[in-house]
Structures are given as C-alpha cells and as structure tokens.
Structure 1
Amino acid sequence: MASNADTIPTPAASARGRPTVFYVLLFLAGMVVLWAVLCGISHKSPDLDNMEELVWASSFEWGYYKHPPVPAWFMYGLTSLFGKPIWLTFLAGQLFSALALWFVWKLGCEFTTPRRALIAMLSVSVTAYFSVRATMYNHNSVQMWSIVASTWFYYRALRHGRSSDWLWLGAACGMAFITKYSALIQFAAFFLFFLRQGYWRDRAALRGVALALLTFLLVLAPHVYWLFQHAFEPLYYADKSIVPAGDPQFSVLSDIWGFLTTQLGRLSPMLVAWIAVYVWSRRAASRAVAVPDGAVAAPRYAQALSAWDRSFLLIVGIGPVLLTVLVSGVLGTRLGSSWASTFFVLFGFYAYWWLRGDERVMLRRTAIVVVVIQVLMAAGYAIGRGPLAYYTGRKTDSTYPGKQISLQMQDVWRQHVPGVPLTLVAAGTWLGGNIAVHVRPSANVFIDGSLRESPWLKSVDPMRCGMLVAYSTADHSSGPSAAVRKLYDQASYKGVVQQRWSTPKSPLIVVHWGIIPPRPDCLLRATAAR
C-alpha cells in the first residue's frame, strides 16, 4: 500500500481541528434551515420529482418501476413520522446535501488540515447541486451523499488498507448504486485510479476489492431479486432515457455542448466565490507591509499534498464528467444535465491549486463570501419561485394551486359519498399527488390506474372503497392514460372544476373528475366505525 505518512495529520493537528467540527456543523445546519424554511414558505407545491417521491413513499419496496428504491425508502421513513407536507421534501433534500458536504470535509481531513478541508467544503457548497437543486428531492440529489461517502472510504481503503474500510466502501457503493444506476460512472473513475497507481499488482488491494465486492453484492441482493421478479423495469426506463430513439433533430456535438455549458452555469457560484476571495486576498496583500527582498512567497496549498493525493483528486474528481462525455460521443446517447449532480463533488479542492497564505485568514474570507452567496441564492430562489412567479402568472410547479384543487375534490367527494373518507385518487403522479397529500387522513395515488406503478395497492382491492378519478392537461400530463380513461368511463358521477394557476391572467386549470362509489361491504364498515 502507498504510504500516507507525509499527509496524515499529526495528533496535535487533529486536536487543533476539533473546534473546526463545530463550525462545519454550524454551517451545515444553517444551510439546511435557510433553504428548507424559505422554500417551505414560498412554494405552494413541490417540484415534480419531490411529488413523485412523496407518492412512492406510500409503501416500502425493493424497487419501483422507474428507479431503484433508496430515495423512496428515506421518504417512507420521514412520512411515517411527519405525514406528507410538501415542506418535508425541501428539508429532506437539504439534509442529504448537508450529509454529502460532511463527507467532503471528512475526505479533506484525510490529506490536509481541517481548516483547509473546510475551505474546500464551503467552496463546493454554493454550486447549484448542493444548493438550489438540493431542494429537489430526487435520485440525483439523494445519491450525492453515498457517492462522496464511497469516495472517502475508497481513499481510506487504498491509503490504509484496513478491512473495515474496504467493507464500508462496498456498502457505500451499494447504496449509491441502488439510489441510481449512474453510480457506475463514479466506479469507473475509481477503476481508472486503481489502474493508474498500479494497485492491480498489489495482492492486499485485490483482497480488499474482494471484501468490498462482498458487501456491495449483499446490499444489492434484495433489489436484484426484485429486478428479476419485475422484468428489470428500471433498466429499460434508464435505457429509454439515454437513447435518442431516431430523433432527426438530435446532434451529439450540440448535446455535449449544451451539457457542458449547463454544468458551467451550475458551477458558476463557486467560480464567483473563488474570484471574490482572490480579489479580496490581492487587495489585502497590496495594503500589507512590503515583503523584504529575497523573501519566498507562501506555497500554494496543493504543494503541501503528496503526488498521490493530487492524482486522486484529479482522476477521481474529473473522471466522471470526462468519461460521460466520451461515452456519449462514442455511443451517440443523450445527456441529461441533472445526471451530472454527483460529478463535481471534489471540485472545491481544486482551489488548492491557487490558494496560499494563512489558512485562518483564508477560511474566514471564504466563509464570509460563501455565506453571503448562500443567503442571496436562497432568498433569490424563494422570491423568484414564490411571489414573483405567482404575481406574474408564470406556470411553475412552485405556484401550482394543489391545495385549492384538493379541497375542491374533497368537497365533491363528500357531496357524493358522505360518511366514507377519500382514500384513493386515480390520476397521474402530479395531479394525484397534489390532491392526495392534502387529504386528511391520508389518501394514496393509483398512478395512471396502473397496479404495476402503484405497488402499495398490490394486497388490496382498489375498487372496494371507491376512488376519485381525475385528469387535467394543464400540468405535467398530456392527458389521461388509457387506464385512467377507462376508470373515468366507469364513474357514476362526473364533473369539472376550474382553477387559475395563480393570478386571473395565469393559465386556467381544468380538472375532469369522476367518482366510483364504494362497494356495500365498505359502506357497512364505515357505518360500523361511526
């Protein structure tokens, strides 16, 4: 194994780093509260992905028809405690962002001082994936913590060679993979570094890989069993997401260009922070006492790292985006901008290639700049997605009148089925979710009238206690699915409700509803319960 004696902090250095833990936790807690509270106040409805996870949290499954299960697992646990308020999705997304940043800091403490590790963590925290897009609770945002944790354990396993680190590496990689299969691209970067450093010739490293593979397969086993039972549905969905399917307008080069420019935009807050700290430092240096002739400038932080550590940061950090672009170019597949959510988690450390000087001073400047940027971004996002979008009549998820529509649907249900609670809504995920999450006691969604897509109904008769059937074309749906249309045709009562998106000039939402009444045995039970 490669030695890390030149970079592992001494006990004294570790002791000096203990107060840093407090500042790390303080920043992370502040970030979570800032974003979760402002989004919870400003948003009337969550984003589509957030709503999808709320709907999927109706049951604990080993897989779902579109994706592997981990995000729905966590949301299932949270909704078991708090119900399904929309603010919960913003809180959950930010909690996972904070957890990922914690592992970024822990990784940095392996090869540099706690303060310098905090500088890197603060820098990367303002990228869109750790801030704005962390309010979107989906497979991309939830995967970040396990990707960074895998990177941390991978570093420790290679540096120290302990069996426990290899076992934890396999477990973390397993969690990353059953969060989203795109974790393979990060594993490929791990493999490149493994080859580059010649570990394939090291028997101890190969034994460690075997241990990691063991825990990886143990974590995967239940989901793999589920995949066999369900005809590998998520894999087919993933395949359809990346194949252009003969689109004559699709161009590989333009798609790659759009992908890269979008990533640059999402990294831009970090670049702004770097520029601000750089200018601040230059101005402070110009006002300082003149440097004596012959004095040597302080070395850049990267110079304090071993060649092995620099190679690790560059290959493992940049590898995922380069491999993704290369594969897309060769195979001609599409690139989704959000797929890069985990590709830049180590980019905060690249500031070491230009940072120099007193780390206390540099940390203070970085912290001030980052906190200002975080506050401005959070406030701007909340205002833009909240009152500004509302009063300009923009058609956004955040201003969708889900609660008002739900209340209208509940009134309709009570008028036609008095005494029986509304427990099931047959609709698309977006409309059905917006109706169901505001029902008390809670209602489930019969997604597009499909039992395959609604596993929480697999052990019940969905027709027994009736259902509300609804569809609309003014949101994420292009119309009712064939199954929903069939259920609508069976409805005993039908009607239409209308609701403006926000202001009188905003789009008009027309919801077609139908009610399939409960069967007699459900009515008897409801009467007995009263």
Structure 2
Amino acid sequence: MHHSVDPVLLRTPRVLPWLVAACLAWAVASWLASANLDGYNDMLENYAWSQPLRWGTHKHPPFFAWAVGLWFAVFPQNDLAYRLLSYANVLAGLCGVWMLGRRLRLGQLAPWGALLLLWSLPYTNLAGKFNANSQLLSLWPWAAALLLASWQERGWRGAWFSAWLGLVAAACMLSKYYSGVFLAGFLVPVLLHGEGRRWLATPRPYLALAVFALALFPHVAWVASHDWAPLGYAMDQGGGQVVWRYVARFALAPLFYWLPAWLALCLAWARVQAREDGAPWARAALRLLARSWLPRGWDDVLFWLACMPWALTLAFGLAGVVELSTPWAIPIGYAFALLWLRNLQRLAPAAADGALQRLGRAWWPMLALVLLLGVAWATVNALRGDKGYYRPTQDAARAILQAWQQRHPGQRLDWVGGDWAENAMLAFYAQPHLLTVPGVPGTEIARLSALGAWQGRNGLLLCPLGPVAAPQPASDCQRQAQDWLGAQGLPVQARVLQVQRGGWRFPRPQAWAYAVYDVDAAPAR
C-alpha cells in the first residue's frame, strides 16, 4: 500500500508557521514554569555584559551579549521577552538546518530535519536559558550551510556566500571559543569530498578566511590589551587529566539529548515499513535504529558534518586537554535529524510518506501538551514552595532602587557591584543600562567592566542573603564588600531589605533578604 504525501506536511510555506508556533509554545511554557530566568544567573550576566556593548568580557567572547543588547533595544526588559529571545534563537537555527538540508539536496526531508529537532532537549527545554552554549544553536547550522553554498556556487554568488561564511564563522568564535572545534571539523568533509578539494583550489575559501580574520581582529586586539582574560578563563576549563565520568556523559549526550526525536522518527518509520512488508515491527525498528547513524561512504559530507563536533570534542576530553562539560553538547546535534532522515529514506523509501504523516498528525497535540506541562510545572513549583520559583528577583530589584532613590533624592545611581551576576537584576528590572560590576571596584575584572573612576559616581554594593526563614552565614560577598568599604574609609554597615512575591501565582509567600551598601560619590573639590 502506497501513501501519498500530505501536501500540508511538506509544503514549504506551511513549515515556517509550524516552526514559529512551536517556538512560541516553548517560550510561553518556559515562562510559565519558571518565575525567574535561571538559577545560575547566566541570563542576567548576559544583560550585564551588554551594558554597554564591548569587544570582550572577563569570561567569554561577546557575541551573545551583543544579541541580548540588540534584542532589548527593541523589546521590553522582562522575563517573557527574554524567553522569546531564547526561542527566536532556536527558530533562526532551525531555519539554518532547513537550509543545510536543501544544500545537501535532501528535498522534502530538509524541513523535517528542522521540525524533528523540536522533539529534542537542546532545542526545547534546554534552549530556554540563553547563554553562550545556546547561542550556537542558531550559528552552527548556518555556518555549515554556507560552507556548502560557498563550494557549490560559482562567480559572484560563490564570493557572496564565501564572505558570509567568514562572517558567520567569526560570529561562532565570538560566541564561544569552543566553536573552534566545530570549525576544525569542516576540514574532514572538505578534504574527503571531491567538490571540497576542488573548492580549495579556488579563491573562495581564502576570501572566507580573510573575512573571518578581519571580523575577529577587534576582539583579538581587545583581548590582547586586557591581559588575555577570556582566554585565561577558557584555559582554566582544562584540568590536564582525563575525568572519566565527564567523558562518559559527553559520549552519551547524542542519545539522551536527542533521544525523543530519534525514537519518534525511527519507530514511526518502522511501523509503516512493517505494515508495508508484513515483517515484525520490532525487527524493523531495531534495524532502523541501528543503521540511522551510519555513513554512506568515506566522502559522506552529511555524516561528517553531523558527527565531527561530537567526535573531536570527545577526543580532546580523552586527551585530557579539557574537562568535558555536558552542556557543551547542546549545539552539536544540528545535523543529526538530517542524517537519520537521509539514512531511513535510503533503507525504507516506501515508508517515508506514511512515517512523516504520522509525525505530522502528532504535531499540534504535542504543542498543546507542552503548554499544559508548563502550567502543571508552575503549579507544582508554586504549591511545594520551590525556592527558585519564589525568589523575588524582579520585586527586589525595584524595591532596592526605590529605597536608594529615597535616600538620595534627585540623584542617579551610576553603578552596582557586589554579587555577580545576580546584581545585574537592578539593571534588567529597575534601571536599564545601569553599569554592573563584578565584585568591588579596583579589581582586574572590575576594570574590564569599564567602570573607570568610581570615586565621582554613585554606586551600590548588593549581596543577596537568601530566604529569611533559612538564615545564611555571612557570605563571601558581604565580607568582600565590608573589607573594601573599610579600606576606603566608607561606612561598612549594610541596609537589609526584605522582599516577597505576592499574587495568584505565589500562594505560599516567602520573604528574601538583601544587604545593600551605599557607595556615595565623593564631593567635588
């Protein structure tokens, strides 16, 4: 029995609305389930680094901070808008996967290579926290697609795509230096495939390389003039020894991060094939699962694009060059779904239409389930009194700034230091563009934040103390603040504010405490 392809499933104009709807659903579900941005304050840190935009930070290259700064130049500064940025980044990456599939000449399978990734963890729940790892979700697929466009096109079109390849490759490096592993992986398909080798004999790769170098130069100059601080942070990630539990986690990441999409595709395909052939379903499923990852040959461009980031990273971990972090695996699977689809199409072509129809029929019920789970998770967090859910970050930021303004009527707060990066909540929720400083003035990382001469500017040191019901001992932030204030001859007594969240979303109010230290501008002489 032959299944005709449902045009609704594969017609190009319909795929983009599907992608947009899924990303919106995940943004809303993520916002509902989490009453704050993230427990590690990565997203507040991003915002702090975006005020003002600069060519580097004390930890990472700056591209993802630029993305945050540009986004909030247009959108309001609130949690929902930030979640929308997270999933707009996902949408941009999925469009890149779609384009990569077209460059690989996968035809009707190309949009499904993007759609299936929305049933994997990196593109759904993990993408809700926008940081250096998730930024790569949008950049790596476009870099791979532009690589193919550069070697497939000729003349001015080839030069145009080559220039864009250089720019996007630079954006990858300016997001996270780990992208060097991804870009190095391009060498394998280029050298093994005949088209790639012929491409090397043209000016196009060298145009891309020149654009890449020019785009990176300002950042390299900034890093060199600031004691190579981001490179020092990156080098600290290597322990010089093999940590086997980290290696094992990263080695298995392709399975547990992409397992839902992989199982859904292979099992749906096997169900249709078994019905077509009259063969046992379990045997067909095991065959497709086992062979869905295999290369077509040594010059299989898709296989190498899909697998090289994982393989090279694992090799560095086994060599003891770095201690592997599982979140590094978030961007590596951009081409996995395309690889599975290509292989299943070759193994059981007659089952393609029916399998994709089955997956298409599940699309809208799955999105409804996502929204319901967002509501359910928020309800669970609210009723069990989850501390991350009840932490009153937005309310505290506004209360702290309001109290400061009452103490200093008619004056403007110029900077906030203290506990990094939670102290960035003042800038994000209460006073846009407020300069946020790691720790206290005078340190090397504070100098990298472009604070300048702090003595003539009003400042505040902020140290969160946690839930009032569970008092904490004096924190490193408090000790550092008091030691620094004493050394400057300034008052060391903290003002402690208590804030709690209210309203229907917070049925079990919890008070949280925040210690603040005023650093008043020295009077002009």
How far off its partner does 1:186 sit?
A: 1.2
Q: 2:330 aligns with which of 341, 355, 369?
A: 341
User: Which stretch of the first structure deviates more once superposed, 259-268 or 207-216?
Assistant: 259-268
CA 1:310–1:38: 2 relative to 1, 3 Å:
farther
Q: Quote the residue 1:525 is aligned against.
A: none
2 CA distance for matches of 1:90 and 1:252? Answer: 34
Amino acid at match of 2:147: Y
Amino acid at match of 1:322: A
Q: Quote the residue 1:353 is aligned against.
A: 343
Query: Under a length normalisation based on structure 2, what TM-score does the superposition of the two structures give?
Result: 0.81
Q: 1:255 aligns with which of 242, 246, 251?
A: 246
SS at match of 1:472: strand
Q: Quote the residue 2:262 is aligned against.
A: 271
Q: How many correspondences in the alignment?
A: 488
Matched, 1:472 2:464: yes
2 CA distance for matches of 1:220 and 1:256? Answer: 31
2 CA distance for matches of 1:470 and 1:186? Answer: 39
CA 1:25–1:150: 2 relative to 1, 3 Å:
same
Amino acid at match of 1:466: N
2 CA distance for matches of 1:84 and 1:115? Answer: 39
| Residues 50-76 of structure 1, C-alpha deviations (whole Å, 9 max, x = no match) | 111111111110111111111111111
Q: Quote the residue 2:380 is aligned against.
A: 388
2 CA distance for matches of 1:200 and 1:282? Answer: 36
| Residues 244-280 of structure 1, C-alpha deviations (whole Å, 9 max, x = no match) | 6xxxxx8632221122344422212212322552365
Q: Quote the residue 1:7 is aligned against.
A: none
Q: Quote the residue 2:319 is aligned against.
A: 330
Q: Quote the residue 1:216 is aligned against.
A: 212
Matched, 1:166 2:162: yes
Q: Quote the residue 2:514 is aligned against.
A: 511
Amino acid at match of 2:494: K
1 CA distance for matches of 2:213 and 2:478? Answer: 37
Matched, 1:313 2:306: no
1 CA distance for matches of 2:152 and 2:8? Answer: 21
1 CA distance for matches of 2:404 and 2:524? Answer: 18
Q: Matches of residues 11-30 of structure 1 in structure 2 within 5 Å?
A: 20-30=11-21
Matched, 1:240 2:232: no
Q: 8 Å contact 1:116–1:363 — kept in the other structure?
A: no
Q: Quote the residue 1:117 is aligned against.
A: 110
Q: Matches of residues 439-478 of structure 1 in structure 2 within 5 Å?
A: 439-440=430-431, 443-450=434-441, 452-453=444-445, 458=450, 461-472=453-464, 474=466
2 CA distance for matches of 1:30 and 1:229? Answer: 45
SS at match of 1:130: coil
CA 1:433–1:366: 2 relative to 1, 3 Å:
same
CA 1:450–1:123: 2 relative to 1, 3 Å:
farther
Q: Quote the residue 1:5 is aligned against.
A: none
Matched, 1:137 2:130: yes
2 CA distance for matches of 1:142 and 1:90? Answer: 13
How far off its partner does 1:455 sit?
A: 6.7
Q: 2:48 aligns with which of 44, 47, 55?
A: 55
Q: 8 Å contact 1:55–1:433 — kept in the other structure?
A: yes
| Residues 144-188 of structure 1, C-alpha deviations (whole Å, 9 max, x = no match) | 222111101112223345333322222221111111111111122
| Residues 374-406 of structure 1, C-alpha deviations (whole Å, 9 max, x = no match) | 54345435643x33223212333x542102322
| Residues 332-385 of structure 1, C-alpha deviations (whole Å, 9 max, x = no match) | 63111111122110000113322433655443322333444454345435643x
How far off its partner does 1:409 sit?
A: 1.6
SS at match of 1:242: coil
Amino acid at match of 2:261: M
Amino acid at match of 1:185: V
| Residues 495-530 of structure 1, C-alpha deviations (whole Å, 9 max, x = no match) | 2234569989898743222222344569xxxxxxxx
User: Which stretch of the first structure deviates more once superposed, 82-91 or 315-324?
Assistant: 82-91
User: Which stretch of the first structure deviates more once superposed, 128-137 or 83-92?
Assistant: 83-92
Matched, 1:228 2:224: yes
2 CA distance for matches of 1:190 and 1:34? Answer: 34
Identify unmatched segments of 5+ residues in structure 2: 1-6, 279-287
| Residues 294-315 of structure 1, C-alpha deviations (whole Å, 9 max, x = no match) | xxxxx9xx99x99679711111
Q: Quote the residue 1:8 is aligned against.
A: none
Q: Quote the residue 2:80 is aligned against.
A: 87
How far off its partner does 1:446 sit?
A: 2.3
| Residues 281-334 of structure 1, C-alpha deviations (whole Å, 9 max, x = no match) | 2576489xxxxxxxxxxx9xx99x996797111112111111111121122631
1 CA distance for matches of 2:516 and 2:451? Answer: 26
2 CA distance for matches of 1:44 and 1:118? Answer: 33
1 CA distance for matches of 2:179 and 2:79? Answer: 28
User: Which stretch of the first structure deviates more once superposed, 346-355 or 486-495?
Assistant: 486-495
2 CA distance for matches of 1:205 and 1:507? Answer: 66
1 CA distance for matches of 2:302 and 2:78? Answer: 40
How far off its partner does 1:485 sit?
A: 3.5
How far off its partner does 1:228 sit?
A: 1.1
User: Which stretch of the first structure deviates more once superposed, 196-205 or 433-442?
Assistant: 196-205
Amino acid at match of 1:125: L
Q: Quote the residue 2:69 is aligned against.
A: 76
SS at match of 1:510: strand
CA 1:84–1:485: 2 relative to 1, 3 Å:
farther
Cα RMSD, aligned residues only: 3.7
User: Which stretch of the first structure deviates more once superposed, 125-134 or 405-414?
Assistant: 405-414
1 CA distance for matches of 2:371 and 2:463? Answer: 34
Q: 1:435 aligns with which of 426, 436, 447?
A: 426
